[in-house]
Chain A
Amino acid sequence: MALEHDRLSEETAEKFDSKIAKRVGELSRVTEALKEWEDTQNSVEELRGLIHDPTTDQELRGLAEDDLVETRTQLDELSQKLAIALTPKHPFEDMPCLMEIRPGAGGGEAAIFANDLLRMYKAYCTRKKMRVSVMKYETADGTGDGSGQAPLSEAILEIENAGAYGQLRSEAGVHRVQRVPATEAKGRVHTSAVSVLVLPSLPSNGNEGQELNQADLTDPESDYYVNPTDVRTDVMRARGAGGQHVNTTDSAVRLTHIPTNTVVAMQDSRSQHQNREKAWQLLRSKLAQAKREAREEEVAKVRRSVIGVAKMGRENKVRTYNWQQQRVTDHRSGLTIHHLDDVMEGGDELDTVINSVKTWLGEQEMLSLLAEEEEETGKKTK
């Protein structure tokens, strides 16, 4: 693999080819880790040789022994890093993403917390210099929080940077909040939940600027392909005569993917045209995610036997935000930190949490990969 990388690097130096450049990018992660590992391995050998060499004097041997211990621990770390680099990259890793935030159990308080999370991720993305925009903001009936806005029922953030999916995919899951809500009169602590769904976002048709060759929308084999005849479009129209008779502003568009009964509705923009495009984008993302999840389901059976119930998804609570103790605990990586305010502002502490989950995810993927391999060798020997 290191050889392939070197060869490709040379080739790109001569002529720039986006496909090769991409492969180089994919490989460089591995080769870098591999090089470091090899270097360290070599120094271990050297040190060992030094220790076992009878001509080495006592002082030097002592130093070498100290060094050896240190280098060994380094080696362990590096092997882990290499292992993570070797795990196949998530196929959607390089894509921009959509983030769907919905209040779960907990009524009005859940809606308020959903709003808090929305603000948190917006701040986080802005700080990380990722382009973020609210693609959908839907409110439910009911009493507002005083600012004249109805409570949030669903929000979708669009993060347009390549690689945003890889960065944020570990955020998917149920986020739990424990605090005394603003709506609570008697000062009791409530526990509510908000679900966050992270979808890879797909470029719309004819968007050639984006470098996403695997996202071929017209190829029926691809995950992103949606057969237009499977989709029913509904537009909101005025009752009665229509045309010049009315001047309503209804611009809502609803798409239904008939085979899977997936429904998306979009009404945020005044332009029906734009609502339709956004709805298609969302539908494609949802279906691609579903296709991938279905494929992973088989693998997950093997995985579960190793990891237990660690399958990430919307069904499991992944993180708790506790106001009383000013603490945030991630239930997957087991990390607890006490800078709640900084987390809620999307600051550095949120980074710490996200990174801890990413490391955990990498390890889990490694484990499941090993499990699969064992399964296969087990099958062969039978």
Chain B
Amino acid sequence: MPRLPHSLLLKAYNISPLLPLVLQGTRSLPSAVNELRWLREHVVRTNKPTQTTQKELLSLCKRRSHGEPLQYLLGSQPFGELDIKCRPGVLIARPEPEAYTAYLAKLLNKGLKGNLGFEFNEEKPLRILDLCSGTGCISLLLHSLLVKRFPGIQINGWDISPTAVSLAVENLRRNISKGHLKIQSSQRPAPIQFDQVDIFSRFNRGQKKQLQCDIIICNPPYISQKGLMQDTSRSVQKWEPRLALVPEVKVDYDGVKAEDVFYRRLIDIHTRLARSKVLIMEVGGDEQALRVARMALENELPSRRDTVEIWRDWPELRNGLRKNEKVLVGGSAVVVKGMGNMRAVVVKSLDYVWSKDGAGPASR
């Protein structure tokens, strides 16, 4: 990591003596200025105005200078309209999942006019499965955005880490009490539920029932061993849980890279076990997106017709240069939406459209 130039540190010091500390953590002056302000607001908000606020602020700035994420220092991160608790041991909620989750909700709310390509039967409750749910941010945001149009919505969040599951439950309660989520505690079955599940294990009967859903959404670990050292920031390496970043599963799929094993399992769950209609997987970048898209197309069942789409970081923003962008994956054209890096691979399985007469899968 390059050393920060002295001129920059001096400039920061001239604004505030605390700023160089924060700057060590953020590596850029504008965000350091913002973070110092948020830290100061946090200290003022949580403490009584006494002599100790300055000391408290100094100690927070010192911790920040060692790379400790601001989200852990403040204990929270806004996610859409929600307020998500963050704690060491669980991956911090990031803006990219916020963007694709909001986009997914927008498409679902639009119905047929949106381009998910089908409409859900509104008489049956919409069921969503959020795998590797972490803080629970995706589940909670989906509920808050969709409950108006899908009043019976059911969301299950699964994570292998008990720390994550308990934090997700805390987040559920916190956002209900803050009024961000419209859920009565007496509601049965509970509209949002978090459980500890290892998605590589054999599923028990209850889990199999939860698998019968319409949409699977997942932000799995996807960084390679090498990538963790090379591409991630120091703060991520040092402070965030490796479990949520690097897949370390003792499963061997033929010809599948170590960082891609979760996708192989997810596609299996989607096509063979859950028979869900939409699968949305976050990916680490363009190369991985193309590998996963190819994997999805290759593993499609003969009776199904899957469409694969790739969403970039900000799927709603227009890409100035490339309109109606498409890439060729294994002979089929895949639509790419939005701006930024390739961030999510979306698989839509068309033969599970609800047909009006209930005669089963629609024909081609």
Q: Is B81 an interface residue (CB 8 A)?
A: yes
* Category for how many chain B residues contact A: 35 or more
CA distance A143 to B34 in the complex (A): 17
Contacting pair B317 A233 (CB below 8 A): yes
How many residues in A have their beta carbons less than 8 Å from beta carbons of B?
33
In the assembled complex, B266 has its CB within 8 A of some CB on chain A: no
CB-CB nearest in chain B for A233: B317
Complex contacts, B81 vs chain A, CB 8 Å: 273
Q: Does B16 contact A149, Cβ atoms closer than 8 Å?
A: yes
Residue in B31, B80, B98 whose CB lies within 8 Å of A248:
B31
Contact across chains for B235 and A270 when beta carbons are under 8 A apart: no
Interface centre among A144, A235, A247 (most CB of B within 10 A): A247
B78 touches A269 (CB 8 A): yes
- On chain A, the residues within 8 Å of B18 by CB distance are 148
State which of A141, A233, A267 has its C-beta within 8 Å of the C-beta of B11: A141
Given contacts A148-B17, A241-B284, A245-B236, contact A235 B314 (CB under 8 A): yes
Chain A residues with CB below 8 A from B78, complex form: 269-274
> In the complex the two chains form, is A244's CB within 8 Å of B16's CB?
no
- Alpha-carbon distance A273/B77, docked complex (angstroms): 12
Complex interface bits, B6-46 against A, C-beta within 8 A gives 1, otherwise 0: 00000100111110000000100011011100100000000
A242 to B17, CA, bound (A): 30
Q: B31 contacts which of A142, A244, A250 (Cβ < 8 Å)?
A: A250
How distant is the Cα of A242 from the Cα of B340 in the complex, in angstroms? 9
A13: chain B residues at CB < 8 Å are none
Secondary structure of the A contact surface, majority rule: loop
Q: A245-B236, A270-B38, A272-B98 are in contact. Are A141 and B285 (CB under 8 A)?
A: no
Contact between B92 and A247, CB atoms less than 8 A apart: yes
**Docked CA distance A9–B16 (Å):** 61
Q: Please indicate the chain A residues that have their CB under 8 angstroms from the CB of B285 in the complex.
A: 241-243
User: By the criterion CB–CB under 8 Å, are A241 and B35 in contact?
Assistant: no
Evaluate contact between A244 and B245: CB separation under 8 angstroms.
Answer: yes
A246 CB within 8 Å of chain B: yes
Beta-carbon contact of A240 and B231 below 8 Å:
yes
B69 in contact with A247 (CB, 8 Å)? yes
Question: Does the CB pair B340–A245 fall under 8 Å?
Answer: no
Q: Are A244 and B222 in contact (CB-based, < 8 A)?
A: yes
How many pairs of A and B residues are in contact by the CB < 8 Å rule?
112
A157 CB to nearest B CB, Å = 17
In angstroms, how far is the closest chain A Cβ from the Cβ of B99? 9
Chain A residues within 8 Å of B92, by CB: 247
Instruction: Name the residue on B nearest A144 (C-beta).
Output: B15
Interface residues as binary, A50-68 with B (CB distance below 8 Å gives 1, 0 otherwise): 0000000000000000000
Interface residue B240 (Cβ < 8 Å from any Cβ of A): yes
Q: Which residues of A contact B318 (CB under 8 A)?
A: 232
On chain B, the residues within 8 Å of A139 by CB distance are 15, 33
- Select one of B16, B219, B284, B317 contacting A245, CB under 8 A: B284
In the complex, residue of chain B having the shortest beta-carbon distance to the beta carbon of A273: B80
The residue in chain B whose Cβ has the minimal distance to the Cβ of A234 is B317
**Pick from A141, A142, A238, A243: contact of B343, CB under 8 Å:** A243
- A143–B91 Cα distance when bound, in Å, is 38
Asked whether A243 and B341 contact (CB < 8 A) given A141-B11, A249-B70, the answer is: yes
Residue of A148, A149, A246, A251 touching B233 (CB-CB under 8 A): A246
In the complex, whether B95 has a CB less than 8 A from a CB of chain A is yes
A150 touches B317 (CB 8 A): no
B158 to chain A, nearest CB (A): 18
User: Which residue of chain B lies nearest to A242 when distances are taken between CB atoms in the complex?
Assistant: B341
Q: Please, how many angstroms separate the alpha-carbon atoms of A269 and B16 in the complex?
A: 20
Residues of A within 8 A of B (CB): 139, 141-144, 148-150, 232-233, 235, 237-238, 240-252, 267, 269-274
Given contacts A144-B15, A237-B340, A244-B91, 17 further A-B contacts (CB under 8 A): A139-B33, A150-B15, A150-B33, A232-B320, A233-B314, A237-B313, A238-B233, A242-B313, A243-B285, A244-B222, A245-B236, A246-B235, A248-B233, A249-B31, A249-B34, A249-B38, A272-B95
**Residues of B that sit less than 8 Å from A by CB:** 11, 14-18, 26, 30-31, 33-35, 38, 69-71, 77-81, 91-92, 94-96, 98, 219, 221-223, 227, 231-233, 235-236, 240, 244-245, 282-285, 313-314, 317-318, 320, 340-341, 343
**A-B contacts, 8 listed (Cβ < 8 Å):** A143-B14, A241-B341, A242-B285, A247-B240, A249-B26, A250-B31, A272-B78, A272-B95
